[in-house]
A and B are shown apart, each in its own frame.
Chain A
Amino acid sequence: MSVTREEVAKIASLARISMDEAALDHMVPELNNILAFVEQLGEVDTSAVEPMTAVIPQEQRLRDDVVDADPLTGGGRRDDVLANAPVAEHGFFGVPKVIE
């Protein structure tokens, strides 16, 4: 299966990556090369095979349902959370206007 220029533009839009015409020109053949390579997986008979979900079998662990079970990842860290934001105002992340 190969992808067209329009399809690549659609995928880029889904991935929220803006691409100009020149970037699309490059990307279309590159993606088609890679897709042609992975296409060979179709040769493998997997009709009786389960898809892998965990490479090392593990039990799902649950933490205790208490506030601040781990102080590092619990609450009360607003300033740390905002410290690297490109725009932070009044204790919130700042974004451009969303609703007209």
Chain B
Amino acid sequence: MTDFTQMGLKAIRDGVAAGDFTAREVAEAHNDAVAAASELNAFIVATPDHALAAADKVDAARAAGEELGPMAGVPIGMKDLFATKGVQTAAASHILEGFKPPYESTVSQKLWDAGAGMLGKLNMDQFAMGSSNETSYFGNVASPWKKLGSNATLTPGGSSGGSSAAVAARLCPAATGTDTGGSIRQPAAITGITGIKPTYGRCSRWGIVAFASSLDQAGPMARSVEDCAIMLGAMAGFDPKDSTSIDAPVPDWAGALDSNLEGKTVGIPREYHVDGMDPEIEASWEQGKQWLRDAGAKVVDISLPHTKYALPAYYIIAPAEASSNLARYDGVRYGLRDLPEGAGLQDMYAATRSDGFGDEVKRRILIGTYVLSAGFYDAYYTQAQKVRTLVQKDFMDVFEQVDVILTPTTPTAAFALGEKTDDPLSMYLNDVFSVPASLAGLPAMSVPATLTQDGLPLGLHLVGKPMDEQGVLNAGLAIEQRAGFTAQPEKWW
């Protein structure tokens, strides 16, 4: 009997279209896998009926000889940041617990229109703030991976940690993620899956709970470059309801995939060689260069001089935008209300927000409030936005000579839950390689490269020119074909 949970997005879609099996069989197998994986805590809400209804619609459309969409018959996981009509959308927070949007986000609607179904809402770091999925109000997500010879529970990364755990554990062939500073790429890397953040503006932000609006982008997480290309094609596109949506046609990324990199130049930024770099990360980076050379590319050293300042700039800009965006949670219009006995309106706001936000969210709101406050605005916020201009200029300068940039995705493999929660700053350093591309709005992806000696996945990170998702995907495919990464976690849940 076919194990549908081992199949990728394209294999499922093509098998359904060919009549090899029904979409319903596929949805049932994945619903069962989700129900049996509660120990991973990857889902906040399971929606088996949604998955079955979408599958039945696809099976009926096929029987009627209708044309099927590019995601037809594929059950996916939906990050809890996307508004889903009638289904709790809490951004993994207490303050939005029970919130059932009366509307559907643009990206999720596009996926349903393309024939996908929803297995459930995926756990994540609260309001997408975190790199280990330990800030969720609904509990930590456990990575399906374990270190060789250890039983410690590891992080699936964050903030899209439910997405990465679910795809790696074969609970779904693909999932949505969102990426503000690395929240698709970092969890993808440390769980051995593939994820791409497109150019800022490719995917509509309408209906995605806002964290830092000038950085937030949605993207797919799946188990192959081609599956990511197909799903990104279904998610992207102009949306007049998002004022920063790019009004440009969506290319056929999947159809144009080509791993022959002859004539292409790959840049290796010297500033990403940090002191005391993990030797296994360094070795995988060297291996990645060789793979791209083998694919025909020329590999050259480049300099991105302001790299060091990207992370501190990010930790001003993102909290500043968050403090502004999260002002809407006031206990009046939706979500939690905490009204102490005899309290007035101001006390209600303060009590509701104190009770409803987790510690990391409060930390970022306070930092953001501080850097935007009178007397500090220019020294912090304006300076950070100027540095952001310089970080972007670094990239645009090197893109005069190179087509794509190769770096490691993360500074280390997965760490244990609880290992970094005492020191917020050490947690922030996880995103040191992914944040610069976010600040510059560039397309970037992580592709699995290898396993460490401890048996944990490492990813390689590709950054491309604005609007050149194709260049990123093609280089990713060249790595994927040579890495031959087929490892998957041994089932313990």
Contacts and interface: CB of A to CB of B under 8 A. Distances in A.
Given A33-B423, A52-B385, 18 more contacts: A15-B366, A17-B353, A27-B362, A31-B366, A31-B367, A39-B312, A41-B309, A41-B316, A49-B389, A50-B386, A51-B385, A55-B388, A55-B392, A73-B241, A83-B102, A86-B336, A87-B337, A95-B332
Interface string A2-37: 010000100111111111000000110011011101
Contacts of B428: 34, 37
Contacts of A15: 323, 353, 365-366, 369
Contacts of A8: 366
A97 interface: yes
Contacts of A77: 102
A96 B366 contact: no
13 contacts: A11-B369, A15-B323, A17-B354, A27-B363, A34-B363, A35-B370, A37-B312, A41-B383, A46-B387, A51-B389, A52-B392, A86-B336, A98-B344
Interface string A59-100: 011010000001011000100110111110000010111100
A11 B383 contact: no
B312 A56 contact: no
Contacts of A35: 367, 370
B491 interface: no
A64 B308 CA distance: 45
A92 B361 CA distance: 29
Contacts of B336: 86
B218 to A, nearest CB: 15
Given A11-B370, A38-B316, A56 B441 contact: yes
B386 A49 contact: yes
A44 B390 contact: yes
B335 A84 contact: yes
A85 B333 contact: yes
B309 A44 contact: yes
B244 interface: yes
A72 B382 CA distance: 36
B291 interface: no
Nearest to A36: B425
Please classify how large the interface on chain A is, using the bins under 10, 10 to 19, 20 to 34, 35 or more: 35 or more
A85 B334 contact: yes
B147 to A, nearest CB: 29
Given A17-B353, A17-B357, A3 B370 contact: yes
Contact of A31 (B201, B316, B350, B370): B370
A-B interface, 7 closest residue pairs, ranked by CB to CB distance from nearest: A51-B385, A55-B441, A86-B337, A84-B334, A46-B386, A18-B350, A80-B102
Contact of A41 (B214, B241, B384): B384
A44 B306 contact: yes
Contacts of B327: 16
A95 B343 CA distance: 11
Contacts of A33: 423-425
B287 to A, nearest CB: 32
Nearest to B98: A84
B313 interface: yes
Contacts of B485: none
B334 A52 contact: no
Contact of A37 (B306, B363, B384, B425): B425
A54 B425 CA distance: 27
A14 B373 CA distance: 9
B249 to A, nearest CB: 16
A33 B363 CA distance: 11
Interface in B314-353: 315-316, 323, 327, 330-337, 339, 343-351, 353
Interface-centre pick from A56, A60, A81 (highest chain B CB count, 10 A): A56
Given A58-B244, A97-B344, A51 B102 contact: no
B362 A56 contact: no
Contacts of B306: 44
A83 to B, nearest CB: 6
Given A15-B365, A30-B424, A51-B382, A63 B332 contact: no
B12 interface: no
Contact of B367 (A34, A42, A50, A83): A34
A41 B312 contact: yes
Contacts of A13: 350
A41 B344 contact: no
Nearest to B104: A72
A1 B378 CA distance: 14
Nearest to B367: A34
A14 B409 CA distance: 37
